[in-house]
Chain A
Amino acid sequence: MRLVRCPKCKRSFVVEPDFMPHRIVMQIDLDRTHQVTFAFHREEMSTTLGWGAFLYSVEDGNPVENSSEGVLKLVSVAKTLQPKLNVILLALPDDITEAAHIIHQTFLQLYWVAQPEEDEPPPNTSICIHHYVAIDHEMYPCHLELHKDGFWIHNPIVQNTLSNVRLFGRTWKVKFVWPSLDTEV
């Protein structure tokens, strides 16, 4: 991945993007109506700002390396970015387009200097890998949610079929999570 800055408009963007075979989604919820979603798949990246009923997306090349370091860098980015987001949104309440661009630019700058961190993502933040698991020759989709102790899986179909999972060149622990009874529907 190479991050370049346009000499004319000073915006940063990704050239020579990395190929990401699994879809990774990092979502930061600011409140019930505002959230930011960063999605990485193949050679593409999108930053989507949810603003009440409105959505605005910025498309770019994928900066995340297809390795465990790449995924763990996202934890570091989320920890730095999450406190900044409220400030960005407060400063630009009327211009969703510009807000999405600023958030995207901030993400790129943070990712460029990030170091991998084996830590818990910050509050109200989820980092999920969309992955398919083969059981009896059937492929089942499951969302692997990144935590400090490995991945949490919510899909009850694949329960007890995996003890660990090999992704991004290393083996990760897997923990199955039952839906809590007080979950709002």
Chain B
Amino acid sequence: MAGTAIRQKETLNVVRCPCCGKYFVYRAVRVPTKVILAIAKTSDAAVVYEFQGNAMFLNIRWAKSFMKTLHKNPLRYDKTSLFRLIAAAHFVYEHWDKLIVLCTNIDQAKDVLLQLFLKGWAERRPVRRTLPAQSRLSVKSRVMGTPVLLIYAHNAFEVIGAEAVEVARKLLIHSQCRIRQKDDVVYLHTHAEVFGSLWPVRVVLAKSIWDVMLEWAL
């Protein structure tokens, strides 16, 4: 019955109740930006864990129902937390099929999805690895002063879409990047501070757009 606070070098702020066995966040942490983890292994169900300020929101789509719930945020804005988040994503992903069978309605699903995430967060070892398939981790940040949504991909972050064009334009003006081309895609390599450390960032552009940009620049 001992209070089983998960004791490691870092303080996790997640604890398991010795009486009912449920995990919960007992002290919210503040994140300076918005972090979004989305998992949708099957087409009829999806969950988005959204971390902002002291809050963690769970956006759930289950069959044709939608639900948004508010909880305390366990996420710290550091490198270990990023890897812990990826580990938790894998834990939720691994239990997804059981979840689909066990939870007949969205109310049950919301409890299980929260518990699975917190259990994975607290008990899985944080590891540097890729995210599971059909899941996405993104962070709101700034590259060259432009607010962008950085998407985690293979130990780096990517900028895509309209934001990528804006960032690429600035990078081109300041000549602060390496450029690589692969098939019809152009990658502009730069860096940004995410989760408290400097990460490589790839700005992804279609070659056709890149050619137009170059024409304008010349």
Q: Contact check, B18 vs A4: say whether CB atoms are below 8 A apart.
A: no
B42 vs chain A, min Cβ distance (A): 27
In this complex, the member of A8, A9, A60 whose beta carbon has the largest number of chain B beta carbons within 10 angstroms is A8
Give chain B interface residues in 1-50, CB to chain A under 8 Å.
Answer: 1-3, 5, 11, 15, 17-20, 22, 24, 26-27
Are A8 and B17 neighbours in the complex by a CB distance under 8 Å?
yes
Closest to A43 in B: B2
A2 within 8 A of B: yes
Indicate if the CB atoms of B19 and A15 lie closer than 8 Å.
no
**B residues whose Cβ falls under 8 Å from a Cβ of A:** 1-3, 5, 11, 15, 17-20, 22, 24, 26-27
Q: Which residues of A contact B (CB under 8 A)?
A: 2, 4, 6-9, 11, 13-17, 44, 58-61
Return the contact of B22 from the options A9, A15, A58 (Cβ within 8 A).
A9
Q: Pick from A9, A15, A44, A59 the residue with the most CB of B within 10 Å.
A: A15
Also in contact, A60 and B15, with CB within 8 A (given A6-B22, A8-B20): no
B22 — which chain A residues lie within 8 A by C-beta? 6-9
Chain A residue, CB-CB nearest to B17: A6
Contacts of A6 in B (CB 8 A): 17, 19-20, 22, 24
17 further A-B contacts with Cβ under 8 Å, apart from A16-B5, A17-B3, A59-B1, are A2-B27, A4-B15, A4-B26, A6-B19, A6-B20, A6-B24, A8-B20, A8-B24, A9-B19, A11-B19, A13-B3, A14-B3, A15-B26, A16-B11, A59-B2, A61-B3, A61-B5
